[in-house]
Structure 1
């Protein structure tokens, strides 16, 4: 059986793991990112997702699909166990505004696909500086 050839990387260029770590470091410097690591966020997030009206992805529901995080946005079984959950999404970006960050009326449950793919693409398209 043939083995996969090693990928080519110029000497001195960062590996994918190094690039990911650097991206995470930069992202964690953005306003409001520290709140996601607090005990308060973990508790409020869990409490929000435990409510009966927040058991399914809002965007999947609009498409007629009941997805509690175990499906992709297309209705197939989620193959990655690390993505089998719902995400609490901020409907309106908080940009470090603490009041907007903690406002439950600004939260919605989304599956990882809708949060990480669709919602992020919409935000990038709406951003004037990108």
Structure 2
């Protein structure tokens, strides 16, 4: 049984259950992401090469647990986004082990908020 009443979508005007995304909003969000991804350099162009794979694997062997939740870490994250700065990219003191969930949710939200604060 739903815990909240259905809501009226501000985009399409139809009623949706709470937590259910409107298909038109979902399509709009996918299109926005696709436009962004077309402009973004691929992983290799951003510096995530074979050497990075080797170094990050070694780092995860030394630090196998996510520093946020304690689950097994799946990837190495840059504490401060490097934005192409190779010195910052390879600085091991800027690396942290994260699980996929922590990296893809909380960490990404924090980076989006920080980038909005910097913009004029």
TM-score range, shorter chain: 0.5 to 0.7
> Would the aligned equivalents of 1:87 and 1:111 in 2 still touch at CA under 8 Å?
yes
> Would the aligned equivalents of 1:27 and 1:33 in 2 still touch at CA under 8 Å?
no
Q: Which residue is equivalent to 2:12?
A: none
Scaled by the length of structure 2, what TM-score is found? 0.64
**Pairing partner for 2:81 from 90, 93, 97:** 93
**Pairing partner for 2:58 from 33, 40, 47:** 47
Q: Which residue is equivalent to 2:66?
A: 57
User: Is 2:112 aligned against 1:124?
Assistant: yes
Structure 2 counterparts to residues 104-115 of structure 1, below 5 A: 104-115=92-103
User: Is 2:46 aligned against 1:34?
Assistant: yes
CA apart distance, 1:117: 1.0
Please identify the structure whose Cα radius of gyration is greater. Answer: 2
CA apart distance, 1:96: 1.1
CA apart distance, 1:113: 1.5
User: How many residue pairs were aligned?
Assistant: 94
Structure 2 alignment gaps of length 5 or more: 1-22
CA distance in 1, matches of 2:38, 2:81: 20
Scaled by the length of structure 1, what TM-score is found? 0.59
Structure with more contact order per residue of length (Cα contacts < 8 Å, sep ≥ 6): 1
CA apart distance, 1:33: 4.7
CA distance in 1, matches of 2:45, 2:108: 16
CA apart distance, 1:24: 2.7
> Would the aligned equivalents of 1:57 and 1:110 in 2 still touch at CA under 8 Å?
yes
How large is the Cα RMSD of the aligned pairs?
2.9
Spell out structure 1 runs of 4+ moving beyond 6 A: none
